[in-house]
Amino acid sequence: MAGILLLNGPNLNMLGLRQPEVYGRDTLEDVVRLATTTARAFGLDLEARQSNLEGELVTWIQQARGAFDAIIINPGAYSHTSVAILDALNIFEGPVLEVHISNIHKRESFRHHSYVSLRAEGVIAGCGVQGYDLAVRRVAGILQN
């Protein structure tokens, strides 16, 4: 079975409570359940992790080499600031999909740029938590080819 590492960055542990008008009422547990169900439907394993710490996310990405076939990442605010996460993703050999619950291009101008997008095979933004489902489906398609 191919494996997907699902990473969520800072403040995503507060989904359901944090700005529900922007991020909705689904919790991170709801997101993980959705992504896991979709992955299983394609015969894929999925492991989900969340951290508010940039270095921990970098370490997990480094450890994913040879352990996972793909990474789906919602780097949260680190999208716009973290060259370290970009550098770690550039070491990873499999596909990377970037997910944002809100449409970052309709928000403050500083959110319009993502370092992670420079590495990602695809970016899904503004689809709410359904974006995670779409990302798993896209990864499944890439891995099948």
Catalytic residues: 23, 100
Distance CA 38, CA 35 (A): 5
Distance CA 88, CA 64 (A): 10
Distance CA 49, CA 64 (A): 12
Residue type, 130: Q
74 among annotated binding-site residues: yes
69 among annotated binding-site residues: no
80 among annotated binding-site residues: yes
Question: Nearest Cα to 56, choosing from 106, 112, 23, 10?
Answer: 10
| 38 touches 136 (CB < 8 A) | yes
101 among annotated binding-site residues: yes
102 among annotated binding-site residues: yes
Annotated binding-site members: 74, 80, 87, 101-102, 111
Positions at the binding site for substrate: 74, 80, 87, 101-102, 111
